[in-house]
Amino acid sequence: MRTQVVIIGSGPSGLLLGQLLAKEGIDTIILEQKSKDYVLGRIRAGVLEEGAVRLIEQAGAAERLHQQGLIHDGTEIAFDSARHRIDFKGLTGKTVTVYGQTEVTRDLMDARASIGAPTVYEALDVSLHAIESDRPIVRFRANGTVQEIECDYVAGCDGFHGVSRRSIPEDRLKAFERVYPFGWLGVLVDKPPASNELIYVNHERGFALCSMRSTTRSRYYLQCRVDENVEDWPDDKFWEELTRRLDPEAVSKLSTGPSIEKSIAPLRSFVAEPMRFGNLFLAGDAAHIVPPTGAKGLNLAASDVAYLSSAIIDWYRRNSRGGLDAYAGRALARVWKAERFSWWMTQILHRFPEESGFDQRIQRAELEYLFSSTAAQTALAENYVGLPY
Ligand SMILES: Cc1cc2nc3c(=O)[nH]c(=O)nc-3n(C[C@H](O)[C@H](O)[C@H](O)COP(=O)(O)OP(=O)(O)OC[C@H]3O[C@@H](n4cnc5c(N)ncnc54)[C@H](O)[C@@H]3O)c2cc1C
């Protein structure tokens, strides 16, 4: 087989890239190791920056997003039994849209199917060859046979555990990492949210978050130990602990019920540099991970794809390599700012197991400053709604 761009991974970054390139008549094949249903069953992010919404529009997959997405003008932070609102719209003129990653993925998959662009699901043992040459080859196994695709470029959109980043020689890649000493226990429930906006909670028993996917489906999180198992958390125990961490008003509006999904996600900051090796370009979680506190994971995948798609389009349409050569630098400049913001949000909102009295006082001072300073709130809002690209 031959195509122009092989995309490894059918998550948001791979699908979005595939659509944006298809709109310009550039051929792609997506190789996805899991089944379509498996990919659609994963519950992950839910907050979209305006830039991500714009890209999904450009990809021709925003109809349902505009019908069902919830526009949020701000968010609340609860600390010391009081809630403080950060007014995104008032401070920056911008908003965010709450719309589940699962739905984004479904819409992009439908858009891809409607133009007949090929995706190979359950593509196993994907391996990358000759990626430093101008004729990279991608090999994989599907339906019991080994197949090969020759291409111009490979886009590594296969997430943190994918094969793309691992195909780059160790001495050509530098990794930067911070692993946090806690995880997030998440519960999805078919009940209306406790509030119209997200509530981030810094409580002495640990962080909590009241989030949502729609007006009838809520997502709640509790800070938990990394060594805990989902089985240790029957629904009753989850709701009891959440109730302890919320203020009385939030508790009075909390609608509990049987969980329809429950999982524990470890928290990690990670960046691999550079995001390119030869004609392999990394995008999204394949190159970087953020703790979910700043709602940046999916949005960073989108900004990488914005840079990468325009670079590839420039090459095919205008014969210009400038965008491809600048890709890693441009993407990483934005990635590191989102890494900083996600790290900072994690730092101010969680209780760290080893924190000293000094650390606690600094965290309190940081929050009190934030609640009292319009400049500090603007800085948070500007980063939360997304830095420009
Ligand atoms: C459990 C969890 C919870 C999260 N919660 C949030 C959240 O609340 N808020 C937030 O902002 N972000 C969250 N994130 C992050 C966000 O979901 C990611 O940033 C986003 O999915 C990145 O998209 P991606 O397309 O780059 O990678 P992915 O969505 O990981 O997609 C990669 C795709 O590649 C496929 N793949 C992997 N290896 C191979 C291979 N060898 N061959 C072929 N295909 C392969 C995978 O099956 C997958 O479909 C969460 C992530 C996880 C893992």
| 364 Cα to the center of ligand 1, angstroms | 33
State mean pLDDT over 117-131. 98
Q: pTM of the predicted model, to two decimals?
A: 0.96
C-beta of residue 223 within 8 angstroms of C-beta of residue 234: no
Structure tokens at 164: 């793309």
With 0-12 / 13-18 / 19 or more C-beta atoms within 10 angstroms meaning exposed / middle / buried, residue 389 is middle
| pLDDT given for residue 81 in this prediction | 84
State how far the Cα of 225 lies from the Cα of 364, in Å rounded to an integer. Answer: 22
| pLDDT given for residue 42 in this prediction | 86
State mean pLDDT over 263-274. 97
Q: How many C-beta atoms lie closer than 10 Å to residue 343's C-beta?
A: 17
**Kindly report the CA angle at 287 between 160 and 212, in degrees rounded to 5?**
65
With 0-12 / 13-18 / 19 or more C-beta atoms within 10 angstroms meaning exposed / middle / buried, residue 160 is middle
Picking from 5, 59, 60, the residue whose alpha carbon sits closest to that of residue 31 is 5
Residue 62 CB partners (closer than 8 Å, separation 6+): 53, 56, 107
**Atom 42 of ligand 1, residue of closest alpha carbon:** 33
| 40 Cα to the center of ligand 1, angstroms | 11
| pLDDT given for residue 306 in this prediction | 98
DSSP string, 109-166: HHHHHHTT--EETT-EEEEEE-TTSSS-EEEEEETTEEEEEE-SEEEE-S-TTSSTGG
Q: How many C-beta atoms lie closer than 10 Å to residue 44's C-beta?
A: 18
pLDDT band (50, 70, 90) for residue 70: very high
State how far the Cα of 73 lies from the Cα of 91, in Å rounded to an integer. Answer: 10
Residue 156 CB less than 6 A away from ligand 1 = no
State how far the Cα of 16 lies from the Cα of 52, in Å rounded to an integer. Answer: 10
pLDDT band (50, 70, 90) for residue 12: very high
Q: Which atom of ligand 1 is nearest to the CA of 158?
A: 34
Phi-psi region of 284 (alpha: psi -120 to 50; beta: other; left: phi over 0): left
Q: Which atom of ligand 1 is nearest to the CA of 15?
A: 25
Q: Which long-range contacts (CB under 8 A, 24 or more apart) does 342-348 make?
A: 342/269, 342/290, 342/291, 342/292, 342/293, 342/294, 342/296, 343/178, 343/269, 343/290, 343/291, 344/294, 345/200, 345/291, 345/293, 345/294, 346/180, 346/267, 346/291, 346/293, 346/294, 348/202
Q: Which atom of ligand 1 is nearest to the CA of 299?
A: 11
| pLDDT given for residue 92 in this prediction | 98
Residue 295 CB less than 6 A away from ligand 1 = yes
Residue 296 CB less than 6 A away from ligand 1 = yes
- Whether omega before 274 lies within 30 degrees of 0, making that bond cis, reads yes
Residue 31 CB less than 6 A away from ligand 1 = yes
Residue 11 CB less than 6 A away from ligand 1 = yes
State mean pLDDT over 75-80. 97
Q: How far apart are the first and last CA of the chain?
A: 35
| 227 Cα to the center of ligand 1, angstroms | 22
| Amino acid sitting at position 359 | D
Picking from 130, 136, 108, the residue whose alpha carbon sits closest to that of residue 9 is 108
| 126 Cα to the center of ligand 1, angstroms | 17
| pLDDT given for residue 171 in this prediction | 96
What are 149-172's pLDDT values in tens digits? 999 999 999 999 999 999 999 999
State mean pLDDT over 14-34. 98
The pLDDT of residue 44 is above 90:
no
Catalytic residues: 72, 200, 292, 296, 384
Residue 157 CB less than 6 A away from ligand 1 = yes
| 226 Cα to the center of ligand 1, angstroms | 19
Sheet holding 145-150, edge to edge: 124-129, 137-142, 145-150
Picking from 116, 127, 103, the residue whose alpha carbon sits closest to that of residue 18 is 116
What are 337-376's pLDDT values in tens digits? 999 999 999 999 999 998 999 999 999 999 999 999 999 9
| 267 Cα to the center of ligand 1, angstroms | 14
H/E stretch holding 192: none
What are 160-206's pLDDT values in tens digits? 999 999 999 999 999 999 999 999 999 999 999 999 999 999 999 99
State how far the Cα of 386 lies from the Cα of 218, in Å rounded to an integer. Answer: 23
Residue 100 CB less than 6 A away from ligand 1 = no
